[in-house]
Amino acid sequence: MGIFSETKMDALTTAKELAAQFAVDAKERDRQAGTPKKQKDLIRQSGLLKLLIPKEYGGSGESWYTVLQIVREFAKVDGSLAHLFGYHTLFIADVLMYGTKEQQKRFLTDTAENNYFWGNSCNPLDHRLFGKVEDGKIILNGPKSFSTGSTDSQYLLIAWEQKGDSPSLVRFGVIPSNREGVEIIDDWNGMGQRQTGSGTVEFHNVEVFEDEILLGDYVTGAPFTTLEATFAQSVHLNVFTGIAEGALLEAKQYTLTKSKPWYTSGYERAIDDPYIQSKYGYYVIRLKSAQALADQAAKIASDSFDKNLELTIEERGEVAVIVAAANVLTGEVAVEIANGIFELMGARSAAYQNNFDRYWRNVRTQTLHNPAEYKKRTLGNWFLDNQYPIPGGYA
Amino acid sequence: MGIFSETKMDALTTAKELAAQFAVDAKERDRQAGTPKKQKDLIRQSGLLKLLIPKEYGGSGESWYTVLQIVREFAKVDGSLAHLFGYHTLFIADVLMYGTKEQQKRFLTDTAENNYFWGNSCNPLDHRLFGKVEDGKIILNGPKSFSTGSTDSQYLLIAWEQKGDSPSLVRFGVIPSNREGVEIIDDWNGMGQRQTGSGTVEFHNVEVFEDEILLGDYVTGAPFTTLEATFAQSVHLNVFTGIAEGALLEAKQYTLTKSKPWYTSGYERAIDDPYIQSKYGYYVIRLKSAQALADQAAKIASDSFDKNLELTIEERGEVAVIVAAANVLTGEVAVEIANGIFELMGARSAAYQNNFDRYWRNVRTQTLHNPAEYKKRTLGNWFLDNQYPIPGGYA
Amino acid sequence: MGIFSETKMDALTTAKELAAQFAVDAKERDRQAGTPKKQKDLIRQSGLLKLLIPKEYGGSGESWYTVLQIVREFAKVDGSLAHLFGYHTLFIADVLMYGTKEQQKRFLTDTAENNYFWGNSCNPLDHRLFGKVEDGKIILNGPKSFSTGSTDSQYLLIAWEQKGDSPSLVRFGVIPSNREGVEIIDDWNGMGQRQTGSGTVEFHNVEVFEDEILLGDYVTGAPFTTLEATFAQSVHLNVFTGIAEGALLEAKQYTLTKSKPWYTSGYERAIDDPYIQSKYGYYVIRLKSAQALADQAAKIASDSFDKNLELTIEERGEVAVIVAAANVLTGEVAVEIANGIFELMGARSAAYQNNFDRYWRNVRTQTLHNPAEYKKRTLGNWFLDNQYPIPGGYA
Amino acid sequence: MGIFSETKMDALTTAKELAAQFAVDAKERDRQAGTPKKQKDLIRQSGLLKLLIPKEYGGSGESWYTVLQIVREFAKVDGSLAHLFGYHTLFIADVLMYGTKEQQKRFLTDTAENNYFWGNSCNPLDHRLFGKVEDGKIILNGPKSFSTGSTDSQYLLIAWEQKGDSPSLVRFGVIPSNREGVEIIDDWNGMGQRQTGSGTVEFHNVEVFEDEILLGDYVTGAPFTTLEATFAQSVHLNVFTGIAEGALLEAKQYTLTKSKPWYTSGYERAIDDPYIQSKYGYYVIRLKSAQALADQAAKIASDSFDKNLELTIEERGEVAVIVAAANVLTGEVAVEIANGIFELMGARSAAYQNNFDRYWRNVRTQTLHNPAEYKKRTLGNWFLDNQYPIPGGYA
């Protein structure tokens, strides 16, 4: 069903091989929750963690488009690993968006050389982590919830507020995950996306040095430096799209091999029932529309990344619009498919050991972080009043 | 939100008290699965198991309408217990529909006296249990899956096929659950409705005596004796309706006490956001429509039960039509609400410990047993071609 | 499909006979627009205009429930006549709600004796008609748009604002339609509901005498006197329900007699295609849910009317809630069915001469007057915050 | 909102200028129905009729993609002219698909030189037109309904069956519209797409000469020669997409300039109501998804056309799949938007003179010709069973 055609085959082939390995025990790992250490190590070994890192820093210099393609590939079989990989690369992108050249060189070279995995502790809606300036350093204290990827990570992208700032300003930095005072609690326990390590990080007098603070061009307000929320959403929407595709493929497999035709249908195979065909056809259409818009958004986002500081306000607005639209659509489609496939598989598909509900639990959980309603308003306002989405934590 | 008004208050009050107790640990018991022994005992002690049993046999002589009202009340907090209670009473109704007067007296008096719980082993789509005639008895061998209520039961309504019957004919009987050779496997493990005890029963040379075979008027083909599938559906649809109501009430409670307004909304309380109000309003409308049709169906089904052998073919057709319609509608509404409430509660509502996904898992699981598609076709055929649903295992 | 069972048969039988006559040229009259004089005269002759008028004033003393049943019966074949009849009786109800006993006696006796038809000029969103006090009379000047039923009427329920009132207060009165200075423009030209005579009335120095001003208990604020908007909505929702039923019956007739099976379907009759059956079945379910909620709302509204000044604030709130819910649901269902039937009839059903689009144009037009969104918010607010709808022009 | 970017600007600019002229009286012409002679002449003069004709025959040699883009542009303001232009070019494509080189040269050179407009008389579901062989010619007698574009045309693509063929075989040919015996009845009178001239053509002893019969490679069964139904659908789906966009733009204009905020909303402008924004945002998402899939389908269809006889069976299958999916999606979206915009504009938008219902009437009418249900089954069958759509009159 994929429709990416212009991507480097190597990275995609590698990703598909990884996905095949993730698939082996994805449903068991969903029950266990915790950290998919073995699978993260496989990603480390694959070299995919340096996909977006420029060649000059030892990376593959691949496009954001390719990154998203791989997010989608992983999400077909494991929403958590897709999220972890997508977010890791998002944090790399963040450094490229608003780190200094020195920071880019330092952090990304280190990451490329060692295949380091990045996590974060940046939740913009949690206002409990504060820093104070002391001897040219920042001292952080407090917790941050929803710190996706924090467990089993080597670097953390972090965000805090600083007492005394008026108005309050979110500041960003990069620290090694094992910096003294960083306590990664590993208390994430969601009904879905259970292996994303999205728990709390507690900061106990954690030092952040000056050269770890990300200022870059962010303070200049260049449109390129305000892309992070849009890029985060572009990760999400490809997780959604992949989950939708994975759910439909799993349902297909079940319908083909296990589903019985309804006893009054008059058919020998479930797939001969026109209703089964029609409903699958409907989901195919829904999926193709999600994929088409996701592809379009991926291209535009990838282009915007390549434009770097040349990106105009209008172009920044256009990418925010298309990504917001694709985010809502793919989330809706994925929830709909993950909810609906049971009707196509039949009563026995609801057995606990099948764990087919994980698709729904995953996408239902992850879609909540970017309320569709507010994206719709933003899009309506853009359409009616020519207002581009206002850059912020979620747009 | 309830709109039953003509019911005996006593039974309903008792049911509400029981429901309050079920609610205490419903979400933990969902995780444990297995048999809700303590809760079933509370129902036994309450006297509700004899609700439908005629007074002449020591029962309460209450209506099917009251039974359904209580199913709905239980389902608000615990879909499994609602199903168990509804099915128990369905099996009582079955004896009244096609048992002989002697059988009714014997089985129902015994049940009323001892507050016995009934289960079943009748799955019409499982054709592996066979009987053969031997010395005026039937000897049963084979398994039956989906035997809801079989664990912790005293009586079993059973169904089997008999070798040599041509055409194949499903035969029904009643036996004590502890009859020699009956092995209740307790292997039910669904993603939802996890405490319904809907596992396999294995029959090893189980004897069924002549006076345990339900023939009654069934062989005469009186419309009244063909109501069982419709009554089973009326149980299901009230489980759905109750789950929908319970889910919406739980969401309301969460939104009122824990949900934060979206950070750009400009409101201090989530419930002041017009979007939150509007979406709740939409679900209220959906719920009210489900309740209204469920009420109407309950009244018509209850009347049909009271008509007993006077029930005409047309009346039998009308009850099958309205119950089928209500079954599809309430299932759709319950799935929709159970899926949608998360958007009204926000990201933190997806925490595992909340276990709010159990509403969706419950109703998603239970709706699969009566495919909506085939009910729609039946209704379309009735509307277009004046054909009443053909009596059978699912209509 | 009707499920009203407790109604006086006489009135209903009469209404069905009238409906049969309306049906003869309903599609041609939709093209002509203007006033259905001949059909209004048939209603006059039938005696139905006095249905709600108490027997002491020469009326039939029938219930509001019966009125709504007849609105629905008319709407199956002609949305405009249903609206005209429903609104006429609404205005009678208004006089009973907030007219004095003297006014009730005078206006209703006159109406019953002469089978007078009432129209109105009350649009609460049009603030261009003003009155000033002069010699104990009110002198009205200005226009009112959306004056449904004003053409070919004998009485007009009117509403105006009075200069100098602070805050602005809407005042109501009753005048003969031929009062000097009343110019009924007949400029209504909607895309649907084309024969409702909902045009502009211009008032040129129109006198309203003191005994024509409706004060009654309205000023006391008794809940009963604030029911008018809810009753107006209950008329609308039964127009919607009737249109939905009429559209589905017309589609059925066409499918049975003219639709060809799709050429690859393998069926000889369109109605044998499982898709056709299933989609009709779906609409039957939607229609039955609309009817069930409409019936429930009709009963509660009718009861509230019978309670008269005994009606409590809570009861007033409950009727407003259920009517709002039914209004939204029935509007949605009617639009959905009127839009969807074409897929069940096939390409040739879109011929202009069939005029099957009038169902959609009618209900699409009429639903716009009570925005569903605001009713949903009201219902959500009620569910979440225990706030009853605030009495006003639309609740 | 458009997202075509690789197209020749000249043709598109011309199309936009034409569209602006069509827009002037589109709503009046919808009422008149009949033939839009003046507008067809403007298209003739613009040179767009030869857009797809190869340069060697005097045409522009543009791509099918550009054709579809222009169909969409026209459809924003006038569904009928979009259909007429799209079908004209489809018939040109047909000659290129299964005409001989000689026929291509002859018919297309003539068309390019004289800016001739093509119509058709090919309805595959009308089996009343028959030919018999006589003196090396075919003599046609009988009628064909749904002959879109037949009025005011210079060439007709025709299809007939031949008595004696066993099995029955549809044969195709090209004749001048003024061939003796051709009676173009002009009896089209649909509720929508009213100026498409889709009436009946009667053939009275019409001669078709041997060199007018299209055999080409069709008899060889090359995949390229079986694309016509898919290409017809690709025209339809761009008509749908354009109508959706046009309807939403017209609604926007109305909301911006005429809609009043709901009186309890607390906003001064309708567009400040979060509900209005959100609903527009939702439609923007729906439209963007339709456009994205339509674009993707247009590219794949255009590529398939360029491959000519090199097109493989698999490629033919893929284009049929994506076009079918886009056809269903865009039809659904267009019907939904055309139906829903009224809620965003308010009660007064339903005035007859606005004629905003024409969007709904147009798309509702045109979607009926390719039942979505059967496309869904085809897509489901492809997804489940790897079966490509079987070439035929509608796939």
CB contact under 8 A, B376 and C290: no
A392 interfaces chain C, CB cutoff of 8 Å = no
Residue D376 touches partner A, C-beta closer than 8 Å: yes
- Residue B312 C-alpha from the chain's centroid: 25
Does the CB of C277 have a partner CB in chain A at under 8 Å?
Answer: no
C235 in Cβ contact with C194 (< 8 Å) = no
Average model confidence (pLDDT) across chain A: 94
Low-confidence ranges of chain C (pLDDT < 70): 1-9, 216-219
The reply to whether A381 touches chain B by the CB within 8 Å rule is no
- Measured between CA atoms, how close is C107 to chain A, in angstroms? 50
Mutation site for A-interface testing, chosen from D289, D327, D345, D390 by largest number of A Cβ within 10 Å? D289
pLDDT band at B7 (very low <50, low <70, confident <90, very high): very low
Among C258, C285, C387, pick the best mutation site for testing chain B contact (most B Cβ within 10 A). Answer: C285
In this complex, is the C-beta atom of A282 within 8 Å of any C-beta atom belonging to chain C?
no
pLDDT at site B5:
41
Are B162 and B138 in contact by the 8 Å Cβ rule? The answer is yes
Q: Which of B343, B367, B372 sits opposite A368 (nearest CB)?
A: B343
pLDDT at C213: 95
CB distance from A257 to chain B under 8 Å?
no
CB B279 within 8 A of CB B339: no
Calpha distance B80→B74 (Å, rounded): 9
Residues 6 or more apart in contact with residue A23 via CB below 8 angstroms? A77, A78
Decide if C217 contacts C225 (C-beta within 8 A): yes
Could you report the per-residue pLDDT of B332-377, keeping only the tens digit for each? 999 999 999 999 999 999 999 999 999 999 999 999 999 999 999 9
How far apart, in whole angstroms, are the C-alpha atoms of residue A94 and residue A232? Answer: 10
Closest CA to A126 of A140, A142, A138: A142
Q: Which residues in C lie closer than 8 A to residue D360 (C-beta atoms)?
A: 339, 360
Compute CA distances B278 → B273, C333, D101, D166, D280, whole Å.
9, 18, 63, 62, 16
pLDDT score of A201 more than 50: yes
Neighbours of chain B (3+ CB pairs under 8 A): A, C, D
| In the predicted structure, residue B4 carries a pLDDT above the cut 80 | no
Nearest chain A CA: its distance from B224 CA (Å):
23
Any C CB within 8 A of A274 CB = yes
pLDDT reported for residue A338: 98
Q: Which residues in chain D are contacts of A329 at CB distance < 8 A?
A: 285, 288-289
Chain D: give the shortest CA distance to residue C348, in Å. 8
- Distance separating alpha carbons of residues A62 and A302, to the nearest angstrom: 10
Geometric angle at alpha carbon D162, from D159 and D167, rounded to 5°: 105
Question: Does an H or E element contain A42, and which?
Answer: helix A37-46
Q: What are phi and psi of C341, to 5 degrees?
A: -60, -25
B205 in D contact zone (CB under 8 Å) = no
Measured on CA atoms in the order C217, C221, C224, C228, is the torsion positive or negative?
positive
**E strand or H helix that includes residue A203:** strand A201-208
Q: CA of A303, closest CA in chain C: separation in Å? A: 39
Question: Is the pLDDT assigned to residue A168 strictly greater than 90?
Answer: no
- Phi/psi zone of residue A231: left (φ > 0), alpha (ψ -120 to 50 degrees), beta? alpha
> In this structure, are residues D255 and D271 in contact, taking their beta carbons and an 8 Å threshold?
yes
Chain C contacts of D357, Cβ < 8 Å? Answer: 191, 357, 361, 364
**What is the least distance, in Å, from the CA of A344 to any CA of chain D?**
11
C380 closest CB neighbour out of B278, B375, B380: B278
CB contact under 8 A, B384 and C280: yes
Query: Cβ neighbours of residue C22 under 8 Å, at least 6 residues apart?
Result: C36, C39, C74, C77, C78, C81
The mean pLDDT of B74-82, rounded to a whole number, is 98
Q: Which of D264, D355, D356 to mutate to test the interface with C (most CBs of C within 10 A)?
A: D264
Per residue in B200-213, pLDDT tens?
Answer: 999 999 999 999 99
Which chains reach chain D with 3 or more Cβ–Cβ distances below 8 angstroms?
A, B, C
Give the C-alpha separation, C170 to C161, whole Å.
5
Inter-chain residue contact B380 with C325, CB threshold 8 Å = no
D277 touches chain B (CB under 8 A): no
For testing contact with chain D, the best of C80, C368, C394 (most D CBs within 10 A): C368
Total Cβ atoms within 10 A of residue D339: 21
To the nearest 10°, the Cα dihedral for C370, C376, C382, C387?
A: -40
Q: What is the pLDDT of residue B1?
A: 33
- Nearest Cα of chain D lies from the Cα of B273 at a distance, in angstroms, of 10
D59, D53 in Cβ contact below 8 A? yes
Per-residue 3-state assignment (H helix, E strand, C coil) for chain D: CCCCCCCCHHHHHHHHHHHHHHHHCHHHHHHHCCCCHHHHHHHHHHCHHHCCCCHHHCCCCCCHHHHHHHHHHHHHHCHHHHHHHHHHHHHHHHHHHHCCHHHHHHHHHHHHHHCCCEEEECCCCCCCCEEEEECCEEEEEEEECCCCCCCCCCEEEEEEEECCCCCCCEEEEEEECCCCCEEECCCCCECCCCCCCCCCEEEEEEEECHHHEECCCHHHCCHHHHCHHHHHHHHHHHHHHHHHHHHHHHHHHHHHHCCCCCCCCCCCCHHHCHHHHHHHHHHHHHHHHHHHHHHHHHHHHHHHHHHHHHCCHHHHHHHHHHHHHHHHHHHHHHHHHHHHHHHHHCHHHHEHHHCCHHHHHHHHHHHCCCCHHHHHHHHHHHHHHCCCCCCCCCC
Whether B345 and B253 have beta carbons less than 8 Å apart is answered as no
Question: Can you tell me which residue has the tokens 């993603």?
Answer: B191
Q: Which residue of B has its CA nearest to A124?
A: B263
A254 touches chain B (CB under 8 A): no
Pairing of strands D118-121, C182-184: unpaired
D275 interaction partners in chain B (CB closer than 8 Å): 274-275, 278
- CB < 8 Å to A382, chain D: 284
CB neighbours of A363 closer than 8 A, spacing ≥ 6?
A: A79, A192, A239, A240, A243, A244, A331, A334, A335, A338
Percent of chain B whose pLDDT exceeds 90? 90
The highest-confidence range among A59-63, A219-223, D389-393, by mean pLDDT, is: A59-63
* pLDDT for res B217: 63
- The ipTM is 0.95
Q: Distances from the Cα of D132 to the Cαs of D99, D126, D139, in angstroms? A: 21, 17, 5
Contact C189 D353 (CB under 8 A): yes
Q: What percent of chain A has pLDDT over 70?
A: 96
Q: Does B300 touch chain C (CB under 8 A)?
A: no
Question: Tell me, what DSSP letter sits at residue C351?
Answer: B
Of D264, D361, D368, Cβ closest to residue C343: D368
Chain C: closest CA distance from residue A278 (Å): 9
pLDDT score recorded for residue D392: 81
**Sign of the alpha-carbon torsion through D320, D324, D325, D327:** positive
Nearest CA in chain A to D300: A3
d(CA A177, CA A114): 14
Residues of chain C in contact with residue B248, where contact means CB-CB under 8 angstroms, are 383
Sign, CA dihedral A144-A149-A150-A154, equals negative
The answer to whether C371 contacts chain B (CB < 8 Å) is: no
Decide if A322 touches D, using CB distance below 8 A.
yes
pLDDT of residue D372: 97
Structure tokens at B260: 């934060």
Nearest to B326 by CA among B385, B244, B392, B238: B238
Count of residues in chain B = 395
Residues paired with residue D160 on neighbouring β-strands, in sequence order: D171
Window 208-227 of A, Cβ < 8 Å to B: none
Peptide bond into B167 cis (omega under 30): yes
Mutation pick from A384, A385, A386 vs chain D, by most beta carbons of D within 10 Å, is: A384
Which tokens hold the place of D139? 């003599």
Length of chain C: 395
Q: What is the mean pLDDT of residues A380-389?
A: 95
For C209, the 3-state DSSP assignment is coil
For residues D284 and D273, the answer to whether their CB atoms sit within 8 Å is no
Chain B residues near residue D279 by CB distance under 8 angstroms = none
C320 touches chain B (CB under 8 A): no
Residue C277 and residue C279: Cα distance in Å, rounded?
Answer: 6
Q: Could you read off the pLDDT of A248-293 as tens digits, one per residue?
A: 999 999 999 999 999 999 999 999 999 999 999 999 999 999 999 9
Structural tokens at position D125: 């579901």
Residue C8 per-residue DSSP state:
-
Cβ C301 vs Cβ C319: under 8 Å: yes
**Residue D351 to residue C264, Cβ atoms within 8 A:** no
Q: Which pLDDT tens digit goes with each residue over A4-50?
A: 344 456 999 999 999 999 999 999 999 999 999 999 999 999 999 99
pLDDT 10s per residue in chain D (395 long)? Answer: 333 344 456 999 999 999 999 999 999 999 999 999 999 999 999 999 999 999 999 999 999 999 999 999 999 999 999 999 999 999 999 999 999 999 999 999 999 999 999 999 999 899 999 999 999 899 999 999 999 999 999 999 999 998 877 777 889 999 999 999 999 999 999 999 999 999 999 999 999 999 999 986 666 779 999 999 999 999 999 999 999 999 999 999 999 999 999 999 999 999 999 999 999 999 999 999 999 999 999 999 999 999 999 999 999 999 999 999 999 999 999 999 999 999 999 999 999 999 999 999 999 999 999 999 999 999 999 999 999 998 887 77
